[in-house]
């Protein structure tokens, strides 16, 4: 939560609000077709006036559910006075409960240590397929550390409870997909949120403050809200702003139009008090649908990568670069050997359209590229020295790019490495410039106990490492791999079993 006089608050009730930059979590489950959702492309009806929206809402509310989560934590049973237990509590964060008989606790075999199921919070979700797929927020299904909750419970409006499976989550858009084992469920069809206009009537449906099946009404106050800091520096913000009252517990619930179609997933509020003051934010349904489709089909979101640093055009820059209007994205830098570099783009080019769609801003362009799959060919229209050009560019994979990993490439889940340079060799006190060096280890990485920042990887599976892209090819999935490592003046082998995706 960031405070600048007023605070951005995720609209989840008594739950965890932090977001993690880890890759999407996934459970093994049979995925449906690539796009399993119902989409209604009928334009919004802006002419009719109604005395009541009850008939429409009676079809919408059965498809909005309550989502509750909990996590398992280890605690030390109090009363023993054992100094070793106190040391464990301080070093490993184990809690000492006031009451050993708390419900949900069970011993895990270690004397004096219990496992306790702790509620994280409560939010909402939207049923989007009759066989049980539900779209919600990433922060709804996370604990306070941004890690996936151990248990997710879904309560339907008819009172039935289900244990849900986490299909996938994407912190960068705050979208998650869960699934319950049920059939014949009511669904809300998706609308094209790109057609929304300021002043359109919308309804927020969810479970604010633990109250199920609450409906509020308002209008679209703004579209395309970005740079709010809700999703961090790497997030993709394109929020719908609405004055339809949204409160804690509404997160993951539906924002629907006057026809009962899904135009957004409620996500956050701007508030001085923690309650609604008329400024709420929802993820556009088109962005939510694209993300959810990727999560269902592959368990994670793969994003397109162009390899440029872009900026906005003010009036002076537009004039200096020969652009008649301020629309477009100015290329500030080109990543060497990136798709943009290979296509002949240069610093100072102004991208004015992509696939024939005008580029209104840098955020607009970034979001469009990120929603394309790696390997997709896009047509860029750009201006150079006042002349118009077109270029066909095949996008790479953002998750494997240097830009996505702060200058490195993720060679294993949560393990980022770079080719050794003179600066890195000096920084990590390496004996040679061979191989690659680990520059970042994510706290949630399954390999964080065997890999550390500063480790120099010289060989993988007995083959000398010359670069990060080669290292990616040398790692074998589904079997054990051997890494020849140099670290703090010593060289040794590390064995790592890499699971299949």
For the record, the structure tokens of 89 come out as: 């509590």
Instruction: Please give the Cα distance from 20 to 149 (Å, whole number).
Output: 13
* Two tokens, residue 376: 């997709």
453 contacts 441 by C-beta, under 8 angstroms:
yes
Per the CB < 8 A criterion, the answer to whether 6 and 272 are in contact is yes
| Conformational region of residue 99, where left means phi above 0, alpha means psi within -120 to 50, and beta covers everything else | beta
> Is the separation of the CB atoms in 311 and 295 below 8 Å?
no
Helix (H) or strand (E) holding 469: helix 468-474
As beta bridge partners, residue 440 has: 416
**Alpha helical stretches, state H, 262-374:** 285-298, 315-320, 339-342, 362-370
CA-CA distance, 269 to 12, in Å (whole number)?
Answer: 10
3-state secondary structure 249-281: CCCCCEEEECCCCEEEEEEEEEECCCCCCCCEE
Write the DSSP symbol of residue 316. Answer: H
Instruction: Please give the Cα distance from 370 to 304 (Å, whole number).
Output: 5
Which residues are paired to 412 by β-bridges? 415
Residue holding tokens 């100072």? 348
Q: Scanning the structure block, which residue is given the tokens 């992509």?
A: 354
Alpha-carbon distance of 15 to 123, in angstroms, equals 8
Per the structure block, which two tokens stand in for 39?
A: 């989409």
Comparing CA positions, the residue from 451, 438, 450, 442 lying closest to residue 414 is 442
* Residues designated as active site: 139, 174, 251
Q: Which of the 8 DSSP states describes residue 29? A: -
């Amino acid at each position: 939560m960031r405070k600048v006089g007023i605070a951005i608050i995720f609209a989840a009730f008594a739950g965890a609000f932090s977001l993690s930059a880890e890759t999407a979590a996934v459970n093994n489950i049979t995925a449906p077709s690539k796009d399993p959702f119902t989409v209604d492309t009928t334009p919004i009806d802006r002419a009719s006036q109604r005395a009541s929206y009850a008939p429409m809402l009676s079809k919408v509310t059965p498809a909005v559910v309550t989502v509750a989560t909990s996590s398992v934590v280890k605690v030390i049973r109090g009363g023993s006075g054992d100094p070793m237990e106190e040391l464990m509590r301080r070093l490993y964060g184990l809690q000492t409960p006031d009451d050993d008989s708390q419900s949900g606790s069970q011993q895990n075999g270690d004397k004096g240590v219990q496992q306790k199921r702790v509620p994280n919070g409560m939010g909402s979700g939207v049923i989007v397929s009759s066989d049980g797929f539900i779209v919600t927020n990433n922060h709804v299904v996370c604990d306070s550390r941004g890690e996936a909750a151990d248990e997710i419970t879904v309560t339907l409006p008819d009172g039935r409870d289900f244990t849900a499976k986490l299909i996938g989550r994407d912190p960068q858009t705050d979208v998650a997909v869960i699934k319950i084992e049920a059939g014949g469920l009511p669904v809300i069809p998706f609308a094209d949120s790109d057609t929304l206009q300021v002043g359109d009537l919308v309804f927020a449906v969810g479970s604010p403050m633990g109250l199920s099946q609450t409906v509020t009404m308002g209008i679209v106050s703004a579209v395309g809200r970005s740079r709010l800091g809700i999703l961090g520096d790497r997030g993709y913000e394109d929020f719908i702003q609405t004055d339809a009252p949204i409160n804690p517990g509404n997160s993951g619930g539906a924002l629907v139009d006057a026809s009962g179609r899904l135009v957004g997933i409620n996500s956050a509020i701007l508030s001085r008090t923690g309650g609604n003051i008329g400024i709420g934010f929802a993820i556009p349904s088109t962005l939510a649908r694209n993300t959810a489709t990727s999560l269902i089909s592959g368990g994670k979101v793969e994003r397109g990568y162009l390899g440029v640093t872009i900026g906005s055009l003010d009036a002076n820059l537009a004039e200096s670069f020969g652009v008649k209007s301020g629309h477009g994205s100015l290329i500030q830098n080109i990543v060497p050997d990136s798709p943009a570099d290979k296509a002949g783009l240069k610093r100072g080019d102004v991208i004015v359209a992509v696939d024939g769609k005008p580029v209104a801003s840098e955020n607009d362009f970034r979001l469009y590229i990120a929603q394309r799959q790696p390997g997709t060919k896009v047509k860029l229209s750009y201006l150079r020295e006042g002349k118009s050009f077109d270029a066909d560019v095949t996008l790479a994979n953002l998750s494997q790019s240097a830009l996505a990993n702060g200058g490195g490439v993720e060679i294993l889940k949560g393990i980022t490495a770079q080719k050794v340079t003179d600066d890195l060799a000096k920084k990590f006190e390496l004996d040679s410039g061979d191989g690659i060096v680990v520059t970042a280890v994510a706290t949630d990485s399954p390999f964080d106990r065997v890999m550390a920042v500063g480790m120099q990887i010289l060989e993988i599976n007995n083959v000398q490492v010359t670069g990060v892209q080669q290292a990616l090819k040398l790692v074998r999935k589904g079997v054990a791999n051997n890494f020849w490592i140099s670290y703090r003046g010593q060289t040794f082998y590390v064995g790592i079993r890499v699971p299949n995706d």
